């Protein structure tokens, strides 16, 4: 039997390792490959031949790995050039695959990773190379088109909603409360910030305002809304996505902070909560303002993850292996929502080219007319994705985790 290889790319999630385990355990049942290799630090590590054999590890180690957050094989943000500009990388990768008798390459990632799958599969097809390239989705941003949602998002949404509720309670203990601003990730879309709509107390949403990149941020309206709500309640709870923009399509966070960019040219954001705080203070509304930037906690909080998210991450890895039996190179495994009540999903294949470098936005119909919160109907989409709490492994009352990249 031939061998295959799997690697992880881009930003980690709480459940990305479950997809790896799904693939390995699927092979133990279906026996399609002799050995399953893993690239350490994504395609960058494979090109440097940093490769391990996953099938050499015990079931116990892999079970522990399944419930470990972050990219346990290591990750990378490696931009693969088109092969007409740098064919050497493609030849190097193909030669490594041939050396290890690998005929299928699985890549777990988001938009940019699916671009890699598209480029590699196109090259293999053009050069008549018998190696398949298949994408497995992940991203807490939930911004991959075609698929209903992405593994990793449900756990991030659960963490955000839980944190919003708990910090709301913490910020509500005084007779003279102030303003609390919760900042989430989300450069292009507001799926993460929007998930705070699930946070409720006595059946009522705790967030007064939720600001998303899908709609223009109006500074004057923001200050007017905030001042009125603060006068009314002596307290305001705001959730904001890091990627909100003004009418000129400029990031609000760029108004006062220095920006850097990653290897894909994406702006490295963060700090929009502080920018909003400064706006409020300068407007004379109040100086009693707390800002919490969730940062990487959104993508590594396994203790607050969703069992359903883990199961679906496992499923896309499991099914990816089965799909690889056919002539399915250049595809990504996607999730289809079959029903909401009870929740049921299945997987299908979509061309990686349809996913690569494309973005799925929150429907504008889900956003209220004031453009500062969400309509109740959108909760039907979010609610099932945060179901269940996993039973983790513990040692000395602290979760036990396993990685293969150290």
Q: So which residues are the catalytic ones?
A: 141
- Residue 297 has which token pair? 């906690």
Q: How far is Cα 337 from Cα 314, in angstroms, rounded to an integer? A: 16
CA 235 to mean position of chain CA atoms: 31
Pairing of strands 236-241, 132-137: unpaired
> 2: closest CA among 30, 26, 39, 36?
36
- Residue 135 has which token pair? 């994408």
Instruction: Centre a 10 Å sphere on the Cβ of residue 225 and count the other Cβ atoms it contains.
Output: 18
Instruction: Centre a 10 Å sphere on the Cβ of residue 41 and count the other Cβ atoms it contains.
Output: 20
| DSSP secondary structure string for all residues of 68-137 | --S-TT------PPPTTT-HHHHHHHHHHHHHTTEEEEEEEESHHHHHHHHHHHHHHHHTT---EEEEEE
Peptide bond into 342 cis (omega under 30): yes
Q: Is 380 exposed, middle or buried (0-12, 13-18, 19+ CB in 10 A)?
A: exposed
């Amino acid at each position: 039997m031939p061998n295959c290889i799997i690697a992880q790319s881009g930003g980690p999630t709480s459940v990305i390792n479950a997809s790896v385990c799904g693939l390995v355990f699927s092979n133990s049942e279906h026996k399609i490959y002799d050995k399953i290799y893993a690239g350490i630090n994504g395609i960058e590590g494979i090109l440097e031949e940093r490769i391990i054999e996953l099938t050499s590890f015990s079931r116990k180690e892999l079970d522990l790995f399944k419930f470990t957050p972050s990219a346990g094989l290591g990750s990378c943000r490696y931009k693969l050039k088109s092969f007409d500009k740098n064919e050497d990388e493609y030849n190097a990768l193909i030669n490594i695959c041939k050396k290890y008798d690998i005929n299928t390459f699985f890549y777990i990632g988001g938009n940019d990773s699916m671009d890699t799958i598209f480029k590699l599969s196109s090259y293999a097809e053009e050069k008549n190379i018998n190696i398949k390239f298949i994408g497995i989705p992940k991203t807490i941003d939930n911004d991959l088109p075609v698929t209903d949602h992405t593994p990793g998002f449900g756990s991030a949404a659960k963490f955000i909603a839980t944190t919003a509720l708990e910090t709301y309670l913490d910020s509500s203990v005084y007779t003279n409360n102030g303003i609390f601003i919760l900042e989430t990730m989300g450069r292009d879309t507001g799926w993460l910030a929007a998930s705070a709509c699930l946070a409720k107390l006595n059946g009522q949403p705790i967030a007064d305002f939720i600001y998303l990149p899908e709609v223009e941020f109006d500074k004057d309206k923001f200050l007017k809304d905030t001042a009125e709500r603060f006068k009314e309640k002596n307290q305001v709870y705001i959730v904001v996505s890091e990627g909100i923009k003004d009418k000129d399509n400029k990031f609000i966070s760029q108004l006062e902070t220095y920006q850097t960019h990653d290897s894909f040219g994406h702006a490295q954001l963060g700090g929009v909560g502080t920018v909003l705080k400064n706006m409020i203070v300068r407007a004379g509304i109040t100086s009693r303002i707390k800002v919490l930037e969730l940062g990487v906690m959104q993508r590594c909080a396994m203790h607050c993850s969703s069992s359903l998210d883990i199961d679906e991450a496992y499923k896309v890895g499991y099914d990816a292996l089965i799909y690889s039996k056919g002539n399915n190179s250049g595809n990504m495994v996607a999730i289809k929502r079959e029903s909401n009540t009870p929740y049921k999903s299945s997987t299908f294949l979509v061309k990686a080219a349809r996913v690569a470098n494309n973005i799925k936005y929150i429907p504008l119909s889900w956003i209220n007319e004031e453009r500062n919160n969400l309509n109740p109907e959108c909760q039907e989409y979010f609610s099932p994705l945060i179901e269940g709490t996993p039973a983790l492994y513990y040692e000395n009352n602290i979760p036990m985790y396993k990685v293969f990249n150290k």
